[in-house]
Amino acid sequence: MKYKHIFFDLDHTLWDFETNAYLVLEQLYHAHNLEGRGVPSFKEFHQVYMVYNEKLWDRFRKGFITRNDLRSKRFRLTLLDFKIGDEKLCEALGTQFLEELPTQTALFPHAKEVLEYLAAKNYPIHMITNGFEEVQLRKMKSSGIDHFFTHVITSESAGSLKPYREIFDYAITKAAATADSSIMIGDALDIDILGAFNAGIDQVYFNTLVPVTGDLKPTFVINSLHELKTIL
């Protein structure tokens, strides 16, 4: 076998972030009676939040803001769009979101099946994630996949973020692996795939919503996690 170590991204690759975040945000919308505060519908609240969340994550990955900035600003900016300037409400939403999100359990189809398949073939399986360490570990435990992973490398523990090469080099060293015998599975071309490519690691791109564009060509492209069985 060419590949001896498997590295996964977590959010949007194994753990269904969109579904899980949607459920928690819907709970918070109703629990805090945001309709009564001037947010016309949950659909509008969710759409605005997701736009700000993605913009802030991009700034966080590029080093422009801190993780505390990310945590506090996404709800503050969302509520300001609806002319709500309530700092206590922002703090409550931010705290409760991070408390409830990791308890959600939705995974992408075939996620556990594929992890069981890889484990049965005695592949060491590892995680490389930009998420906050405590939150990511709780997500994995809640969804019942934590026991599959030998090493969980987070941006906090590595002192670097994907797509920077340092986090991939750190992961390879931590796993006692080599770049040419490793493979990275992720959903983000400019984060997972580009980062692994620059570190000399083959890649599997899994994202049915965003097609491959530009000059970067992943080693493999799949439309279902089940297809990993044809590669590994």
CATH of the domain at 53: 1.10.150.240
pLDDT of 58 reads 87
pLDDT of 57 reads 87
Facing residues of 231 across strands?
A: none
Same domain, 87 and 182: no
List, for residues 119-160, the tens digit of each pLDDT value. Answer: 999 999 999 999 788 889 999 999 999 999 999 999 989 999
Report the distance separating Cα 29 and Cα 14, nearest Å. 26
Contact between 80 and 194 under an 8 Å Cβ cutoff? The reply is: no
**Could you say which of 82, 103, 124 is where a domain stops?**
103
Which of 2-6, 27-31, 64-68, 182-186 is least confident? 64-68
Q: What domain range is 186 assigned to?
A: 5-16+107-230
Domain total for the chain?
Answer: 2
Same domain, 99 and 115: no
Is 1's pLDDT higher than 80? no
The per-residue pLDDT of the chain, averaged, comes to 94
**Could you say which of 103, 136, 162 is where a domain stops?**
103
Same domain, 114 and 10: yes
Q: Which 3 state secondary structure label does DSSP give 196?
A: helix
Q: What is the pTM of this model?
A: 0.90
Same domain, 68 and 140: no
Same domain, 87 and 124: no
Same domain, 221 and 119: yes
Burial of 82 from C-beta contacts in 10 A (0-12 / 13-18 / 19+): middle
pLDDT of 60 reads 86
pLDDT of 68 reads 85
pLDDT of 132 reads 81
Residue with tokens 């736009």: 51
Same domain, 124 and 137: yes
Same domain, 53 and 111: no
* Distance between first and last Cα of the chain: 8
Percent of the chain scoring above 90 in pLDDT:
84
pLDDT of 23 reads 97
Report the distance separating Cα 164 and Cα 192, nearest Å. 10
**Could you say which of 77, 103, 129 is where a domain stops?**
103
Same domain, 219 and 137: yes
User: Quick one: pLDDT band at residue 212, thresholds 50, 70, 90?
Assistant: very high
